[in-house]
Every structure is written in C-alpha cells, then in structure tokens.
Structure 1
Amino acid sequence: MSRSTRHLLIVVSGTDPVYRGYCLEQTAAGYGIALIDAKPPTWQQHLVADHEVADTRDSAAVVAAGLALAERHAIAGVVTWDEYALVPTAELVARLGVRGNTVAAMSAARDKAASRRLFAEHGVPSARSIRVRTPAQATVAAHRIGFPVVFKPASHAASIGVIRVDTPERLTDAWEFAAAGASQQGPEGRGVLVEEYLDGPEISVECATVAGVTTALAVTRKEVGFAPYFEETGHTVTADDPLRPHVASVAAQAVRALGITDGVQHVEMRLTASGPRIIEVNARIGGDMIGQLVRLATGLDLPRIAADIACGNAPSLNPTAHRTAAIKILYPPATGALTARDLTVEPGPEHPWLHQVTWLRQVGDRVALPPEGDLFTGRVGFAIVTADNPAEARHRLTHIADGLTLTVAESHTAA
C-alpha cells in the first residue's frame, strides 16, 4: 500500500462521546484525524481518516500504533486530551520527531509529588506535601503538616481518592479511601500524598503555551461539593474575568516549572489569604466540558488551539465573544436506584440560553455518591447555559435547579 501524502493529526485516546466528543469534532473541522484508541472508532467513524487500536496507557503500544500510522500517512502532529495518555503521547512525539512536550515534563505533570518538588524549586506558590506509603507514615505526615490536611493519590485525576482530613480521628478512614483510589492510579506516580489544605475559592486557568510562552486564555470558577470529598459540581467561565490578570503569572510560572513548552493546560489553584496557590497542572484541556464553556464565553476553540500547536501552526488566541457560560452537574440526593429523572426546562426557542442538557443515567440505574462512588457513578447529567454576565448565568442555573426532579430508592439495588 502506498503512503498517503495527506498530513494527519494523530489523536491519542480521550474520545469519550459525552465529555470529549466536542474535542474531536472541533479538531476534525481543521485537520484530518488518525485515531489511536483502545477500541475501533464507532460514533466518531465519520471524523477519522485512519486508526490503530492500542492500550493508550501503554507507551510501547502507543508508539507502535503511531509508527504504523506514520508508515501509511504523513503525520503533522500528535495530541491528546486524556490525562492518562500524556506520557505515552510524549513518547510518540519523541519517536516521530514532531512538536510537543518531553516525556520528563509530562511525567512531572502526572506525578503530583514531582510537581510539588519542582514548584518549590522554582518558587511557585503551592502546598506542602509529603509522599507516604503506609498508614503510619500518613499519620506522621499529617501531624507534621498540621490539620486539616488532604490525602490524594499521586497520579490520579477527577478527584478520585481525594479527601480532606480535619482531625486525627479521621485518619484511618481517610487513608483507606485514598489508598483505594491510589490502587487504580496511573503508573507515573506512586503512593499517597499528604498535603496542606489550601483554603479559599477554587479556580482553574485555561492556558495555551507555544514554544515556552504561556498565555492565560480564561478563568474557570468552580463549585466543589460533598465535603470532605472534592466532587466538582459546577463551573463558570466569563470572558475578561477580572481575576485573569491576577492569576495569569502564577499559572505561567507553574507551567514553566514543569518544563511544559507546548499545548493547552488546565491549571488548578486556590485563592488563599496569602494569594493564589497551585493545586496541580493538567497538561491537557480541562474536563467537565470546560473547553465548551471557554468557546461559548470567549469564542476560543481550545481543541483547535491544541491541534494547531501540535502541528506547528500559529493558533488563534484572540477572543471573539464576550459572554458567560456555566455548567451545572446534576447529582442525586442519595445513593440508590434512580427512580425519577426530569427537567422541566428544555433547549429550544423558549430557552435559547440553554445550550445543552445531557443525561448520563437512566431511570433504574444505580447511582453512588462519595464515599461509595465518584463522578463516574454519581452524576446523573449536566446542563450548560449562556448569559451576558455571571449574575444572569447564576439566575438561569437556579431556574434549572427549580425545575429538576431527581429521586432515588435508597434501599433498592438495581439489576
């Protein structure tokens, strides 16, 4: 078979249709796509020119798949928006000699202990952190740092296994919760981190980095619930958020400290009494539809920006919209079988500001809130709204909440 002369962009994993479908669709609008994923393409078949099946968490498998694609096509670049595929993607970038981040930089972003060490070395405001392997070590570390502390797996995502510990009496239960999460984490980190609790509102800064120069594109204001766990329940993005100039330099410092040179980053931080302090740097587009919120609020297309950077093309970083976009993530009142699921407000001419309603669970499904479950088992759906300003967005989210019905049978176990 002759080698095609058409240049394709390799996309590694992250092709979940609910949370990442928009990424593939927006990227495919500008580039031919060669997909590497754990399964052959289905819903995305019309967006993909070629594909290889591989374990996207296995570097050797991803490299082999990428080299196979490179035998058939000219490759313009490689990108992923999957947290667990960052290091394998970097390995493929190195083998193909295309633009991207080093394995060392992606490993440092994935391993939160390595991130903390580099933040300290480069003077980036962060949290005190100690890596531990046993309950006894965790107890010593918690007392050394001082309560409250946070336990978290070293290389997980989506707040899996993350818990705040307020008193010594809660250490045993907290260790069991965090250690269970750590048992499923990626290979780039090991063990559990005991960290200083950063008090204050949580935000993320959505950044684009080109040849080592980082631009803060948007600020996402977050809602976090289910304490002492850290489940994210909502996000709001406003173009020209007044926080952006105050947090941009800290976000850029954190990106630079990890050695990240290219791509889109989702930089999480807390606004503490002593100023912004970094929680972590995710070297990919943020989850929970944040990329869509950024596009609706600012006009900036994060998937396309990431693709442009990966292919060595100049990305468009100039906003074309000036609005607010927000997502409300819908959780049930308790763990159990979902018995009713209804929203009286629907997208359409009567509610042009209601951009999207997506249901993740059907009536009869079992849903589980922390500590029994996590975002994968607890979420029933989400709704995205747009508005001219944050106050109007909050009003519209309240209107949605008023029209929402979610009930569960706590004693019933779904089949």
Structure 2
Amino acid sequence: MNAVCADGPDEDCPRNGSDGSVLVIIGANPTVARAAASLPGELVHVQLPGAPALDSGTRVLTADFRDLPAFLAFTDEALRPLRPTAVVSLTEFGLEPAALAARRLGVTGVDPAVVHATRDKLAMRRILEREAPHLNPAFAAGDDAEAVDRLFAACGRAIAKPVDGVGSASIALVDGVDAVPADRRTAATLFEQFAEGREFSVEALSGGGRHTVIGIAEKGTADGFVEVSHMMPPPSLDPRRQELVARAVGELLDAIGLTDGPSHTEVMVDGDKTVVIETHTRLGGDGIADLVQLTTGVEWRRAALGWAIGAEVRRTTAAAAAAATVFLTARPGRVAAVAPQPALAQGRVHAWEVSVRPGDEVRPLRSSADRLGMAVLTAAGTEACVAAVAELTARPVVTTAPEPHL
C-alpha cells in the first residue's frame, strides 16, 4: 500500500491525466455534486426522476438507472453523443449501471465484474476462498442445507445477511442451526462465521493496480449491527496493525480485480488477524468522507470521482487531529422532546443534524434508516475524541414516550 497523495504532481498518485474531459456521474446527491464541481472538464449528472435538485447551472439528465435495460438504451441514445471520457457513481445502486455504461461506451469506469463481486456478498466470499482464504470467515449459502449445517456445527453461531443487502438491514446473529428461520434458507441469504474483534472501515484509492489507503475509521455498532459511530484515526489500531489492515485490503482488492477507483472495505481485526466483512467500489457513507477531509485534508469525494479523468488528488491542511460521526438513537415510541446541540467537555460539534421532531414515530433500530440524526465531532486527539463520542452517546438528545396501548 502507498502513502496518501499530497498536493502537486507525484508519481505514486493514481491518475490518468486529461483536460477537456466529459465526466458522467450517476446518482450524485447534492453533497457529491458540489464536490464534483471543482473537477476539470465538463460534468454531466444522471439523476433518478424526482431526485433532489442539484446546484443551478449543473447539466442534469434524468433516467431510471435502476432499470438496466432501459438505462443501457438511454446510454446509447443520450450519453454516447456526448462522447464522455468516463462514467462513474458513488451511490450503491448506481455502481453497476455506471460500470455497464462505461463498458458499453468503451470509456473509463470500473469493471462490471468487479462491481458484481462487491455487490454480491456470496460471490466475494467465493473469490476470497480461491485467492485469499485467510481473509475469509467460514461461510455457507443459505440454500445449501448441508453447508449451513456444517457451518453451525463448526462455529455454533453465525451471522445471517442478505447476499445483496445494504444499510445494515436484515443482519442477524443466529445462535444455532435450530434457530435459523425457514425464510433464511434461501439463495438470498449468506451465513458467515461470527468474527470476533473490533470493526474498522478502510477508504482506499487504486490506480494501475496500486492501492493507496486514504483513511481508516473505527466503527461502533448497536446490538443489531447498525452503525452508530465512526472515529478517525482509529483509537484501537496502532500503526503496526494499521499496516496489517492496509496489506489485507490490498490483498482483497487484488483478489477481486479492482485496479482503479475508490473502495470502502469493512474489516474485523482480532489481534493480528484481519477478516474482511465486505467491500464496495465507492467511498464510505455515514459522513466518513468528512472525517477523511477533517483529519487528513484529502478531498475524498472529489478524489473518488476525479480518478476517472486523471484529476489530481487535492489535499489541504487537516483541520483536526481526530474526528467522529455519531448517530442519534432513542427507544421506540413517539418523540417527546429534542434537546439542542450541546457543548461538549472534550472536543466540539462540527456539524449537527436531527431528523425528527416531537410527535414523530421512532422505530426499533433495525437498519441505518432508523437512526434519528448525526453529529460530526472534532477533537485534539484520539483520546479526546473517544471521550467526546462517549459523552454525546450518553446524552438523551431525543427522548421518547411509549406508544399507548390500544
């Protein structure tokens, strides 16, 4: 793995080099679109019908890229005449359409086979089983009854997850084969050995088969595996183990064949052992790009798009030694009160967003969509950041009243 790229030319930085380019971006949200606006060349955004408006002056085309046959026809009719240089996406449901459009047009993009290997979790497990088995937990396809029985006999308990799931939805810890629901014994479910240790997210940028780690965040999760915090740099990972994690991510990316573009990989680390949980050909969500920029100065959203047209990785002075995102949660019920943004004893609140008001329903925390808001914190160091996260997590920002029994 290579050191992160800094300002100015650097032979180690992934880039292709071009001006006067036409970059097509599939499914950008307003934040990604703003980051893209500083890239050289022309930008063309392809948005879903009814998607949030982008800044005025931005060229926007509308198409349902989730309908692949219709989108490929749109690619021929609307995108081909624009003679694009590259087609990319940073949104999960735009990754495959962007890759297929780039392949169809013969322009720069991520290999569709690589995107498929990251979006199909069983396919990724089978690739690692062949190429880097030490990065895999034991696993079984849900419709392979004998393999499922062997997995539980060997491991006792396992994680059940959708093969194509996103947003921490429908992930469950199953304590024994007798507890496996019938609706999980299908090809849509993957069972994996429960991996011990702490979980981390790794942001990387690849160029010509060389993989550069941009940042590593330590993840906090609720009992149901929903992510409730990210801290960067990772407090529990010393420099030696950071290098071990970087090496493991490089092996993973080599195994699946990713040579160019961004990646977001989730790993579990137990001592010196690193197990891959999943990977994606995009940057991480949950404000991780903001943590990268705050702690390293790298404009990660811009870099995760600009690689395809050879734009340099832009890096400014880091604003903080450590930073974190913290997600607000509350017990199920109706929102009774929402506290104002607090002042913290250690660290400070860089950004604050609460998505509920009194009277709103709070559902059980089963996926990322059930979270109630997010804060971005900065601190003078990792210890102060840990303390700030703990302080905010302990505060009842959103309080609820139980639903009355009818």
Class of the TM-score when normalised by the shorter of the 2 chains: 0.7 to 0.9
Match of 1:13 in 2: 27
Aligned-partner residue type, residue 337 of structure 2: A
Greater alpha carbon shift after TM alignment, 395-404 vs 245-254 = 395-404
Q: 1:49 to 1:195 in 2, by over 3 A?
A: same
Q: 1:14 to 1:364 in 2, by over 3 A?
A: farther
For residues 378-405 of structure 1, the C-alpha deviation after alignment (integer angstroms, 9 at most, x for no partner) is 2110100111211111222344345543
For residues 302-360 of structure 1, the C-alpha deviation after alignment (integer angstroms, 9 at most, x for no partner) is 211122211134435x674262110110011x22222211134269xx99932100112
Aligned-partner residue type, residue 268 of structure 1: E
Match of 1:397 in 2: 389
State the SS of the aligned residue for 2:110.
coil
Runs of 4+ in 1 over 6 A off after TM superposition: none
TM-score by length of 2: 0.85
Match of 1:280 in 2: 278
The answer for unaligned runs of 5 or more in structure 2 is 1-18
For residues 2-49 of structure 1, the C-alpha deviation after alignment (integer angstroms, 9 at most, x for no partner) is xxx96432111152xxxxx43221112225432222225543142622
- How is 1:166-205 mapped onto 2 (pairs within 5 angstroms)? 166-168=175-177, 170-172=179-181, 176=183, 190-205=187-202
TM-score by length of 1: 0.83
- How is 1:1-400 mapped onto 2 (pairs within 5 angstroms)? 7-15=21-29, 21-31=30-40, 32-40=42-50, 42-46=52-56, 48-54=58-64, 56-71=65-80, 73-124=82-133, 125-133=135-143, 140-168=149-177, 170-172=179-181, 176=183, 190-226=187-223, 229-238=224-233, 242=239, 243-273=241-271, 275-316=273-314, 320-321=317-318, 323-332=321-330, 334-345=331-342, 353-370=348-365, 373-376=366-369, 378-400=370-392
Residues of 1 paired with 2:404 and 2:58: CA distance? 42
Match of 1:187 in 2: none
Does the aligned pair in 1 maintain the 2:329–2:371 contact within 8 Å? Answer: yes
Q: 1:319 to 1:344 in 2, by over 3 A?
A: closer
Does the aligned pair in 2 maintain the 1:7–1:73 contact within 8 Å? Answer: no
The answer for unaligned runs of 5 or more in structure 1 is 16-20, 183-189
Residues of 1 paired with 2:394 and 2:170: CA distance? 31
State the SS of the aligned residue for 1:391.
helix
Aligned-partner residue type, residue 72 of structure 2: V
Q: 1:277 to 1:71 in 2, by over 3 A?
A: closer
Residues of 1 paired with 2:52 and 2:266: CA distance? 33
Give the aligned length.
Answer: 381
Does the aligned pair in 2 maintain the 1:151–1:194 contact within 8 Å? Answer: yes
Residues of 2 paired with 1:241 and 1:10: CA distance? 39
Q: CA deviation at 1:374?
A: 2.2
Match of 2:3 in 1: none
Residues of 2 paired with 1:355 and 1:342: CA distance? 17
Residues of 2 paired with 1:215 and 1:6: CA distance? 26
